[in-house]
Amino acid sequence: MTIVILCCISTACNRDDKPITLSVDKTEIIANNEDVATFTVLCEGKDVTDESHLFIEGQDEELGSNIFSTAEAGNYTFYAKRKSHTSEKIEVLAKAIEPEEPENPEEPEEPENPEEPNEPELPEGPIELSASTDTIVANGIDAVNFTVMQDSINITDKTDIFVNDNKIEGNIFTTTQSGNYVVYAKKNDTIISNEITFFAKEYVAPEIPIVITASTDTIVADGIDEIIFNVTEGKSVITDDIDIYVNGNKIEGNKFTTTTAGNYTAYAKKDNVTSNEISFVAIEYIEPEKPIELTASTTTIIADGVETVEFTVKQDNIDVTNETEIYINDNKIEGYKFTTTNHGTYKAYAKKGELISNEIEIIAEEYIEPEKPIELTASKNNIIANGTDKTEFTVTQDNVNVTSQSEIYVNGNKINGNSFTTTTPGSYNVYAKKNDVISNEITITAEAAADGKTIVFADGVTLTSGWYDVNKIGNGQQNGDINMCWAASCANIIQWWQDRYVEAGNTLPSGAVTGPGTTYQLALMEMYHELWDNSRGGTTSHGITWYFEGRNIMKEAAAGSHAQPLSNNTGGYYSNIWESQILPHVYHDYDYVVVPGIVEYNDLISTEYNNYYLWGNGSGLSDEQRLRKFTELVVEFMDRGVVSLAVSLGSNLGTLHHATTLWGYEIDNATGLLTRIWITDSDDMTTEPKEPVLHEYAVSVHETHHTIKFSGAPYGACYAVALYPVSGYGSR
């Protein structure tokens, strides 16, 4: 059998799983593969053909479409399936093509009046009417399909169908009128079929659910914040004939606001259909503070520390300045007035609780102070020309001490610092310069030194106080400090330096090491013991620079030749304030040169002055000249601070060198030469307990080796190797 399947698309309705009805547009076709029968599947009057499956009985295969044609004659039975329901069966007759009878000219025509009488025609048999269903829905879609049979042959297309005595077109009937219907068929207006009835029940449109949603689940109960409701029916948004209820009360439109905090429910109604219920919350409205406004008495001031800008803060036209905080460049200021000595642009704003005001830009213009005259004075106008007695100069400008910003000239020659001493009697004319301003001129008289001697100690030091004497443990072997004489001298000097710094009204920076130690007399010695590799000796200027600045001026030294800080110990306890707060008040013109022009350390407060070229055998000086040079250096260095003195126990300086701390000296007024010095020594005792001792040594020149000799306990004699000056705070 050849079956031709044509694809046809029809519109289906979305239905639940309910009974279906199968109908066909004609029950007879010609078996020529061209004539077709078209099937329709209805569910409660709606066309669901495209949701259904058509089958040919006995073949167990799906038709594949709702159109059937064939080239094989015969009766075909069809049924439909949709979900769990199967329709009633329908038969379609495929009739064979009747061949045309050829004309036969040889066959004689029968006489018009044959002698034998004609046989009477047999009467046709009855016709029988049947229907595909006895109930339809009166929706104009659901249909009943009628079939007329005669002698087991489908003759539907040769009959007329009458419903309630009204002839219908074809054999399919639909209606929108509910009620009982009576149906019969006629053939040739002579044969009338049996009569059947069916019922068309009233069509009741199904209720489609409606759904309500909201734009948010939380609003503020301020009468302004709103929730917007959206109602849909199926896939469509509906706005007409919809009522929305909030807490059971119908609202106008689809928007809701409230001033009452609490929990709310909402639903929608359309006719008799009620939507789902949704909930939302209206949170309490807390009225925010009104904004604050910052104003300024002026937006431009002179950065002279005097001219002031005054701020005012208002809230709702009420002055609330006393309730606010004023910020300048994000830093809170005291009160509501601002002045500065730093020119630039400043951003100002105010805070009141969490409220932040507008921002105002304040411009502080640079203050150019007119250069006022400067005045030079001296601590004394008469001094002894012994190289030790000195006068100190002070320069003031408008009653402000500007000595550090000025240069002092004695007899037309600029001097270092602001103190003057000489060994040459006479009158000296002195004046000061600050930028282009020249001070008054004063005269200093240097009188010839009389017989006698002058003793000078470091600032804050006397024979009995102000000095420090850190000692090693035992003979230096017990605690691994045998090589740490340099560290003991560093500890003595730094503690003295910090005493002067605090005495000047300052506070030690956080982390600075100070005060007594547990193992040693000073905590500074314990720091060097813990943070340094002390398997080799070191130098005081190295330890001093590392502690204050964090610079390692001996990092280029050969490995293992010199004491070094352990890894990651960078020192620099004053590094954060060194340049800004320390250097302006400390003499820092020393330097340490490793490779000239390549590796140099400048702006130091300590360095090494070795004897060889200055007062030693490489100087080419006489004994008296050597002692005078050594004297001048000691006087100069002690005038600036304290000195670490390296000595040797051998007059030829060939033995191991040892660091001590020089606290004071005595000078012969007549000759201007050193006669005595006072030092502390970490090796002066080898057994415990040890007490601080300030040792006195006489100063002379060795007769044979021409070295500077110190005579006294505990060594009997030792000899100058090097000086390591350390500038004290206030030395500039």
DSSP letter string over 358-398? --EEEEEEEP-PPPPPEEEEES-SEEESSSS-EEEEEEEET
Whether residue 2 has pLDDT greater than 50: no
Give me the torsion for CA of 419, 422, 427, 433, rounded to 10°: -30
Which residue, of 450, 471, 503, is where some domain finishes? 450
Tokens of 560: 């293992």
User: Predicted confidence band at 102 (pLDDT cuts at 50, 70, 90)?
Assistant: low
Q: Is the separation of the CB atoms in 240 and 218 below 8 Å? A: no
The pLDDT assigned to 205 comes to 67
Q: Rounded distance, CA 250 to CA 4, Å?
A: 62
Tokens for 598, please give them: 């390549």
Eight-class DSSP state of 521: S
CB atoms within 10 A of CB 306: 10
Q: How far, in Å, CA of 420 to CA of 389, rounded?
A: 8
Residue 506 inside a domain? The answer is yes
Same domain, 626 and 715: yes
* Structural domain boundaries enclosing 75: 3-95
Q: Would the pLDDT of 527 be above 50?
A: yes
88 in the same domain as 14: yes
Specify if 645 maps to a domain: yes
Q: Are 647 and 658 in contact (CB under 8 A)?
A: yes
Task: Record the tokens describing residue 296, joined without a space.
Answer: 């300024």
**Residue 487 per-residue DSSP state:** H
Q: What count of residues does the chain have?
A: 732
pLDDT tens-digit series, residues 312-334: 999 999 999 999 999 999 999 99
- Whether 584 and 626 share a structural domain: no
Per the model's pLDDT, the better-predicted residue between 344 and 387 turns out to be: 344
Whether residue 181 sits in one domain with residue 141? yes
Please state the rounded mean pLDDT for residues 347-368: 94
Question: Is residue 384's pLDDT more than 90?
Answer: no
pLDDT per position as a tens digit, 451-461: 678 889 999 99
- Start-to-end Cα distance in the chain: 124
My answer on whether 313 and 360 are in the same domain is yes
Task: Provide the β-strand partners of residue 504.
Answer: none
Pair (192, 250) in one structural domain: no
Q: Is 147 helix (H, G, I), strand (E, B) or coil?
A: strand
CA distance 68 to 74: 13
In a domain, 101, yes or no: no
- What does the pLDDT average to over 341-370? 93
What is the model's pLDDT at position 112?
52
- Which range in 6-20, 39-53, 109-123 is most confidently predicted, on average pLDDT? 39-53
Q: What is the CATH number of the domain that holds 723?
A: 3.90.70.10
Average pLDDT, the chain: 89
Least trusted range by pLDDT, from 154-158, 241-245, 367-371, 660-664: 367-371
- Give the chain's domain count: 7
525 shares a domain with 419: no
Query: Binning pLDDT at 50, 70 and 90, where does residue 123 land?
Result: low
**303 and 325 within one domain:** yes
Question: What is the full DSSP assignment across 579-617?
Answer: IIIIGGGS---EEEEEETTTEEEEEESB--EEHHHHTST
The predicted pLDDT at position 440 comes to 96
394 part of a folded domain: yes
Question: Has residue 391 got a pLDDT over 70?
Answer: yes
pLDDT one-digit tens code per residue, 593-620: 989 989 999 999 999 999 888 888 888 9
Q: How confident is the model at residue 9 (pLDDT cuts 50, 70, 90)?
A: very low
CB neighbour burial string for 88-114, b if at least 16 within 10 angstroms, e if fewer: eebebbbeeeeeeeeeeeeeeeeeeee
Same domain, 84 and 168: no
pLDDT higher than 60, residue 446: yes
* For the chain, percent of residues with pLDDT exceeding 90: 69
The whole-number pLDDT of residue 152 equals: 86
Instruction: Report residue 287 as tokens.
Output: 């009225």
In a domain, 598, yes or no: yes
Q: Tell me: pLDDT of 573 over 50.
A: yes
For residue range 625-663, what is the model confidence (pLDDT) as tens digits? 999 999 999 999 999 999 999 999 888 888 789 999 999
Q: What pLDDT was estimated at residue 113?
A: 53
DSSP secondary structure code for residue 476 in this structure: T
**Element of type H or E holding 331:** strand 331-332
d(CA 245, CA 276): 11
Residue 15, pLDDT > 90, answer no
Task: Name residue 179's beta-bridge partners.
Answer: 200
**What are the C-alpha distances in Å from 340 to residues 113, 300, 345?**
149, 12, 11
Q: Please say which residue of 604, 633, 662 terminates a domain.
A: 604
Write down the residue that tokens 């000692």 correspond to.
Answer: 471
pLDDT in tens, 406-427: 999 999 999 888 989 887 889 9
**506 and 599 assigned to the same domain:** yes
Q: What is the pLDDT of residue 154?
A: 93
Q: What is the pLDDT of residue 416?
A: 84
pLDDT in tens, 271-315: 889 999 999 999 999 888 899 999 999 999 999 999 999 999 999
d(CA 256, CA 236) in angstroms, rounded, equals 22
Q: What are phi and psi of 636, to 5 degrees?
A: -60, -50
Helix then strand then coil, % of the chain, to nearest 5: 10, 40, 50
Span 199-242, pLDDT tens digits? 999 987 666 689 999 999 999 999 999 999 999 988 788 888 89
Q: Which of 535, 706, 732 is nearest to 626 (CA)?
A: 706
Taking the C-alpha atoms of residue 329 and residue 344, their distance in angstroms, rounded to an integer, is 11
In a domain, 42, yes or no: yes
Whether residue 468 is contained in a domain is answered as no
Q: Does residue 441 share a domain with residue 345?
A: no
The predicted structure's pLDDT at residue 478 = 85
In this structure, of 4-18, 141-155, 420-434, the range with the lowest mean pLDDT score is 4-18
**Nearest alpha carbon to residue 431 among 403, 405, 412:** 412
Question: Mean pLDDT, to the nearest integer, of 706-722?
Answer: 92
Strands 135-138 and 196-202: parallel
Cα distance between residue 698 and residue 248, in whole Å: 113
In a domain, 185, yes or no: yes
- 22-75 pLDDT, tens digit per residue, is 999 889 999 998 889 999 988 887 888 888 999 998 876 788 888 989 988 899
Give backbone dihedrals phi and psi of 238, rounded to 5 degrees, phi first.
-115, 140
d(CA 245, CA 255): 11
> Do the beta carbons of residue 643 and residue 722 sit within 8 Å?
no
**Given 163, 186, 202, which residue is the final one in a domain?**
202
The secondary structure of residue 460, as a DSSP letter, is: T
User: pLDDT confidence of 122, banded at 50, 70, 90?
Assistant: low
> Do residues 650 and 716 lie in contact, with contact meaning Cβ atoms separated by under 8 Å?
no
Specify the CATH number for the domain of residue 342: 2.60.40.10
Query: Between vectors from CA 82 to CA 79 and to CA 84, what angle results, nearest 5°?
Result: 105
Residues 615, 665: one domain?
A: yes
Confidence tier at 14 by pLDDT (50, 70, 90)? very low
